[in-house]
Structure 1
Amino acid sequence: MIYTLPFIAALVGWFTNYIAVKMLFHPKEPVNILGVYKLQGIFPKNQQKVAENIGRMVAEELLSSEDLREKLNNPENILSIKELVEAKIDYYLNVTFPKNYPITAAIVGDKRKIKLKEAVMTEVHESVPSMIDSYMANIEEKFNVEHIIQEKVNNLSPERLEDLIMKLLNKEFKFIEYIGAVIGFIIGWVQVLLVVL
């Protein structure tokens, strides 16, 4: 009979951790216990704090405005912007301008169009980084990533929040449950050895 102790301890260890994981999410609404203590799952109870922490983490660590600015200001993106602007200028000077203003286009001629394009492209070359900085400042002012994430998480139903967290951490929660069984089993054997010796 004493040798069943490790298996009982393993079951108790697993069940204890299983309940602990479930209590992260349940009960969803506060439940009064003896009129003294309110029991509620950790995530539903602290959803606003969770939302604030996730929002802050995303804004500071995952999607900072500095990272976005750096990505936009990398040479490949700047070159792409310049090529796009150059293509638009070429189209305007060679198609739109002659079509809308045929007499003026004939007077201006190809040499002046080339000089005009070169002047505009020089200005574009010099101003793209500052334009990106201005654009980013405008985005930062209008779109507060931290606030947007906080609002999204805070507006999730407790069921949806549980579903998302379980999708993210299901393996880890299962590991916690199983490690409870393993530790319980080991403690059960230690108890058997203490009794036998």
Structure 2
Amino acid sequence: MNIDPEILKYLSLPVISAVVGYVTNLVAIRMMFYPVEFVGLKPPWLGWQGVVPRKCAKMAGVAVDTITTRLITQEEIFDRLDPDRIAQELEGPLNEMVHDITEAVMREHQPRLWDSLPAALRQRVIRRVQAEAPAMVAEVMDEVRENIHQMFDLKDMVITSLVRDKTLLNRIFLETGETEFRFIARSGLYFGFLFGLVQMTVWWLYPVWWLLPAFGLLVGYATNWLALKMIFNPKRPWQFGPVAIQGLFFKRQSEVAHDYGNLVSDEILTPANILEAVLRGPYADKLFALVQRHVQRVVDESASVARPFVAWTVGTESYERMKASAVDHVLTQMPEALQHVTDYAEDAMRIRETLVSRLQGLDPVGFERMLRPAFEEDEWLLIAVGAALGFGVGWFQLVFVFGEEFARAFG
């Protein structure tokens, strides 16, 4: 069966339009997230960087506002930790650390004196410090909880993590909005085909040269615009008889909440990251001053059995230097020791469960702020890129598919 080539030309219009709709939407999605770093000659104009990584600080700020104002606070996180339980979890590592630090400090500053002390007295000093250490940990934790705003900045921790790792910021949007992005790409195919049917009919009735570029531009623009509208509108269900119409993102609130909660709790708000932020964050000096005060007190109280002999032998000034050295050793080994409480902290903080349950309970406006910024920031640019690509394909159709019309119009 032979089909007239002229008919095939017309039948190609909806097919090409569908491909244009799919490709332009897919390109728009890719341009939102990639490349992660700028590629080109001179930023920001002679090249490109994904919208999300290019504005990572602002995007991270949006993410952190959602987390810290609507989902969980730093007070909640630390109030769920029991200081006595943390001391209990650290008892083994602390005993070993106290033994090693005491030996190291004494052999560093006064090796002869330490060797001259009776073994029983040396062990008595070590056991005394070991006995005091858990109470010291509990006291430090109590003070941290009571003065959490002076010791820890949750917003700073989240923003630092996301700005430092732009790939992680991309994942927040890509993984929580995976279904929506897939819909955007596929909808370009469907909408493009429908527009192509209209284009074919109009071109059949009125084959004027500018129609093909104009329809290409319209397809590239409208498919992106419609897809975005269908994702975020309407926010609340519209009931039409038995059919409920609602934006795709809001329909999936429960599922998105699970994905978002799992990702944030596994990659950002982990006990290890929180402890690191406390130890190395903007308020680390205050924490170290707090630990220093408690360690020096415990050393004084615990070493009372040998202090008169030590002070008389090495002098008060040397004793103070030894005490300061002990503090330095504690601060150095503290991060490793605290790793022993991460399992307990994860159970106690319940970050994953809190994030998921509160995300599921967010109102539509608050829930929209999770993903919408990724589109909203440069939405016009992404739609314009789709329109430009469609416009170019329209010219391609005119020149290479309906070349006789091009020749008639332009000679």
* TM-score class, shorter: 0.5 to 0.7
Counterpart in 2 of 1:191? 397
Q: Secondary structure at the match of 2:367?
A: helix
Deviation at 1:130, TM superposition (A): 7.0
Alignment match, 2:311: 111
- RCO comparison, higher one (Cα < 8 Å, 6+): 1
Stretches of structure 2 lacking an aligned partner (at least 5 in a row): 1-207, 405-411
Q: Deviations over 1:110-153 (max 9, x none)?
A: 939969x95xx58x839845752354343212112222222332
1:138–1:21 Cα change, 3 Å: same
8 Å CA contact 2:216, 2:394 repeated in 1: yes
> Quick one: structure 1 residues 60 and 159, their matched pair in 2 at CA, closer, same or farther if it must change by over 3 Å?
same
Distance 1:184 1:33 in 2: 34
Question: Shift of the alpha carbon at 1:155?
Answer: 2.2
Q: Aligned pairs, how many?
A: 179
2:344 is aligned to 138
Give the Cα–Cα distance (whole angstroms) in 1 for the partners of residues 214 and 378 of structure 2: 23
User: Structure 1: which amino acid aligns with 2:402?
Assistant: V
Identity of aligned residues (%): 22
Matches for 1:32-47 after TM superposition, within 5 Å: 35=242, 38-47=244-253
RMSD: 4.1
CA distance in 2, matches of 1:31, 1:78: 52
Letter of the aligned partner of 1:6 in structure 2?
P
Shift of 1:54: 1.0
Alignment-mate amino acid for residue 339 of structure 2: D
**Aligned residue number for residue 52 of structure 1:** 258
Q: Partner of 2:210: helix, strand, or coil? A: helix
- Residues 134-175 of structure 1: CA distance to partner in whole angstroms, max 9, x if unpaired? 543432121122222223322221122224422243245434
Alpha-carbon distance between aligned partners in 1 of 2:237 and 2:260, rounded to the nearest angstrom: 23
Are 1:28 and 1:44, in contact at CA under 8 Å, matched by a contact in 2? Answer: yes
Specify which of 376, 381, 384 is matched with residue 170 of structure 1. Answer: 376
CA gap 1:57/1:90 in 2 versus in 1, 3 angstroms: closer
- Quick one: which of 13, 20, 41 aligns to 2:227? 20
Q: Is the 8 A contact 2:235 2:246 kept in 1?
A: yes
Separation in 1, partners of 2:385, 2:241: 33
- The normalised TM-score by structure 1 is 0.66
Unaligned 5+ segments in structure 1 are 98-104
Kindly indicate whether residue 193 of structure 2 is the aligned counterpart of residue 2 of structure 1.
Answer: no
Map of 2:85 onto structure 1:
none
Matched residue type, 2:358: K
The Cα shift of 1:38 comes to 4.1
* Post-superposition offset of 1:57: 1.1
Q: Which moved more, 1:151-160 or 1:127-136?
A: 127-136
